[in-house]
Structure formats: structure tokens, C-alpha cells
Structure 1
Amino acid sequence: METVSEKRCFEGTQGVYRHASRATGTEMTFGLYLPPGPGPHPVLWFLAGLTCTHENAMVKAAAQLHAAEAGLALVFPDTSPRGEGVADDEAFDMGQGAGFYVDATEEPWAPHFKMWSYIADELPELLSAEFPLEMGRQGITGHSMGGHGALTLGMGLKGRFASLSAFAPICQPTQSDWGRKQFTGYLGADESKWLAHDATHLMETEGFEGEVLVDTGAADEWGEGLLRSSALGGAMAKRGQPGAFRMQAGYDHSYFFVQSFIGEHIAFHAEHLW
């Protein structure tokens, strides 16, 4: 593992690291914020959205101060494999920067696009071996495509996460243009194989064993047609899922929206991780 940079930040350390990934067959880069103190620290994952690298949320979410005060480590993974020989697409919502947190089974994506395995298995193993983290206390959150990933990993990996939240997630990708195209490309035409990566379906059939916090801007420019927020909100209400689904008046899809509520989300995770 290569240390790209380490910077002092609110008495902790914001690091960026690079390593060779067996899951993706490429080099992968991630950010890790370690709060003050020797640890081991509980871990909060932040999964980013379409077009993002590890850097977007690390720089724009304004999460480090809240994490330092709460004593939580923050993990900022990349959103896809990258590099020469890695498949890509001209559209911003497919290919590099748009891994959708699935393991692709179809060509040309299958050789490298294994983001579920990378987030679920490989990166946790690396973090546990290299840093003072308490991997028995993990929470997960994310924004947009990353909110989709947080919800599906949170509900799909039973017992892994003690807390789960999301900002403006893609809630029902099997019924959205942010999902149907990507799942067809990555997973094939058999729609039954898509359901394990649909947060609304998972909420209807599995739920989450703890509380769930979801915030979406009521003025989100991507709107109901792509995010399908009402589908997840309805599934949470029908199931009686503990937690809250909130539509925040006046807020859009940007990181200004994320900044506005990141403190509440980190406090929510800290309550369940300590």
C-alpha cells in the first residue's frame, strides 16, 4: 500500500492511499480520516455518487470536524476501477466513475467492475490490517449512487453495519433510468438478478435491523423520476422500519445539501457506534 498524502485535520489525519486491488485488477485509491486519539476507532463509510472519485466527499462533505468530535474514522472509497484497459462509456452515468456498487458479470465490464466485492470484502480487510480501526463497529452512508450503494450494502450484508443512512439515494434503480441501463450492462438482461441491488425491494423483503436515516432535497433537480424517493419512503412506512425518511424543503442534490445535514448524520451514526 502506498501513502499518497497525509494531512493534519482537526487534530486527526486525513490520508489518501493507493493499493493494487485483487477484486478489480487495478490500482485503487481511497481516503481515510482518522480522528484524534490512538484508537481503535469505529468506522463510518461514505460512498460517493456518479462521476466522483474518492476525493469528492472527502473534500466537499465537510465531514471531518463532525467525525473528529464524534471519534469516528471516515472511509472514502472510489466509485469504480480506473486506468488503461478498463472499460468505459461516453455517458457520465456508465463506466468509470459509475460502478453502481455491483459486481459486473457481463462484458466488457466483468474483468474489472467488482465494486461490491471491493467494498464488502477487500477494502475492509486492508483497513483492518493497516489502521487502528474497530471493524466490529461499522456504519455506512453515501450520496446519490453512493446512497444506493450504502442502502444495498447495509441491508444486503446482514450484521455488518450497526447504522445506515443516505443522502438523496437512488432508491429504486430497477425502475429508473439511473439503474436499468447500468444493470442491463453490468448484470445482464435477467431482471431477477437486479433485485439484490434495489434498495426499495430490499426494504420490502429484508429491511435493516437497526435504524435508517434518509434525507433527500425536496428541490432535488434529478427528481422523482430518477431517484424514486417515494418508493423507498413508502416501503419504509409499510414495513414500519425504525428511523426517518425526510424530504428537506428547498435543498437540491449538491454537496451544499450534504454539508447541511452531515452533522446530523454523523451524530446519528455515533449514537449507534459507541
Structure 2
Amino acid sequence: MAFTTKATIASFGGKLLKLTHNASTTGCEMALNLYIPPSASAAHKVPVLFYLAGLTCTGDNGAEKGFFQYGASQKGMAVVYPDTSPRGLKIAGEDDSWDFGTGAGFYINATKAPYASNYKMESYITSELPQALFSAFPELDGSRVSISGHSMGGHGALTLFLKNPGMYKSVSAFAPITNPTKCPWGEKAFTGYFGDEDKEGWKKHDATELVKGWKGERLDILIDVGTGDNFYKQGQLLPENFEKAVQESGKQGLVLRYQDGYDHSYFFISSFATDHINHAAKYLFA
């Protein structure tokens, strides 16, 4: 699958590519950012971190404000910044609110019309996009991949990691929506994308529910949440529910850090981005 390069930007000795391609899973043109560190070449493949952004965001937000490239350059790691939803489909209602539809794909495959045909972000992120990237860029090592994300993207990172054992070497998240079946954002999205006839089925897309069935011996998950985050205070994130589920399952290794005074913004993300790069590097370079 061919990518079109819209811009090439020097960044920490490497290059940030702004790309577009036509995606069959979403039925539209998808935009993304790809950071390639200076150490990368076809003869020296580098591991890859996927960063999933949150509600209202595009692939530009993390690349331009997340400060991931500094640590990625130091470690010799590529970073992929996908978009958060299909764009321009002109589905009735998809642009009516900021927390559903455009910019709010929730990294799931919708099953309810009219979203079922195109809102297939889970398949896009886990299958079509990586296959296309690893084919087009020989300097990327498709056998060494990790995932991280913020807010809705933190939900995506956690659930895709837990659903696909072995696909990702590690996972981390910033202020993730950890229990979407129990919060307003998740309830709205899941009703719109899945319908409310089978709410039990929603649990297949909820990290707090998924972690209960995790088969691995140890979970090494890094999560940061700001104590000044209004969405945390409003009960949208519910990290305590995820922590409780991990504890009750007997799993070890969750590192949940409450960062004093930090909010939900990219000031928060950029403050701890290098920690998350280092977390991924422990596994990508093991």
C-alpha cells in the first residue's frame, strides 16, 4: 500500500514524516505521523512504538506536543502516531459532538449501522496500518512493537495489548479510560458503535474486564494519571477500578502513578513521555 509523504521534518537527528494513505478498513484516506530515528536503516532495523491519541485529536498532536521524539532518538526507536478515527465520511451525526464520531473512533470495530462499515479502528491499528508500514519502510522492525496512548488512546493501548497476547512487547498509558463500560464517555461511544442490546458484549472492549482474564504470569504496565485532571475527577478514567481488578486477579507488576497537580493536557504527557519511552525500551531492546 503506497504512502504519500506530505512533509519531512528534521527532529532530534531523525525525521518526522507526515503521511497519508488509502485504508480499506476505514474506506477513506488516513493521515498519520511517523518518526524515524537517526540510527534507522534497512541494515539496522529499529523497533516501533505506536502512540494512540485521545478524543478530538489527530496523528499530529502526539508528534507535535508529546515530546516523544527526544527519547525515541536517544533509544533508537521509531514512533507511529495514527489518527483517531476515519475522516470525511459524511455519516449523519458523526460530527454532532466532540466525544463521538469524527476524532473519537475508540479503537474498536463498530458493529452498529451506520458506523459498522467504516469505523474499524481496531483492525486498522492492529492489522492494516502496521502491515502497510512494515512493507513500505524496511528500516522498521515489525517483530518488535510496543503500544502506548492517552485518554481514549490509553483505553485503546490497554485493550489492544490485552486482546492480542504477543502482538506488543509492552504497554503504557497516560490518563487512560480504563473502565469504559462504567463511564459516560464509554457508555456513549459503545451505545453508538455497538448498540445497547448486548451490554455484556461491551466488556470485550474494557481493560478492567479484560485484565481479569489475562493469562500471562506478570503484567508490567505503566500508567500515569494527574491528580489535577478534571476528567479523572469527573469519573471518566476510573484507574482505581483497573487497579482493583489487577489486584483481585492476583497479577503483579502494575505501576499506577498519580502525578500531583498535573492535568489531562499535553503538558502532562510531555512531562512523562521519556518515562514511557524508557518503559517500552526495556522490552523492545531486551
> Structure 2 length normalisation: TM-score?
0.93
Q: Which of residues 143, 165, 179 in structure 1 aligns to 2:186?
A: 179
2:19 corresponds to: 17
Q: Distance in 1 between matches of 2:209 and 2:89?
A: 36
Partner secondary structure for residue 100 of structure 2? coil
Q: Which of residues 172, 197, 203 in structure 1 aligns to 2:205?
A: 197
1:234 corresponds to: 244
Q: CA deviation at 1:262?
A: 0.6
Offset from partner CA, 1:195-228 (integer Å, 9 cap, x none):
1110101112226655111111111111241111
2:171 corresponds to: 164
**1:211 equivalenced with 2:236 (yes/no):** no
Q: Which runs of 4+ in 1 moved over 3 A?
A: 207-210
**1:69 equivalenced with 2:74 (yes/no):** yes
Change (3 A) 1:25 1:78: same
Report how many residues are paired.
274
Q: Distance in 1 between matches of 2:252 and 2:142?
A: 25
Q: Distance in 2 between matches of 1:103 and 1:213?
A: 26
State the identity as a percent. 45
Report if aligned partners of 1:167, 1:214 keep a CA contact under 8 Å in 2: yes
Q: Distance in 1 between matches of 2:86 and 2:140?
A: 25
Report if aligned partners of 1:102, 1:197 keep a CA contact under 8 Å in 2: yes
Partner secondary structure for residue 219 of structure 1? coil
Alignment of 1:1-274 (within 5 A): 1-37=3-39, 38=41, 39-87=44-92, 88-131=94-137, 132-189=139-196, 190-206=198-214, 210-224=219-233, 225-238=235-248, 239-274=250-285
Q: Distance in 2 between matches of 1:29 and 1:150?
A: 19
Aligned amino acid, residue 59 of structure 1: E
Aligned amino acid, residue 236 of structure 1: V
Aligned amino acid, residue 134 of structure 2: S
Q: Distance in 2 between matches of 1:223 and 1:210?
A: 23
More off after superposition, 162-171 vs 209-218: 209-218
Q: CA deviation at 1:15?
A: 0.3
Partner secondary structure for residue 230 of structure 2? coil
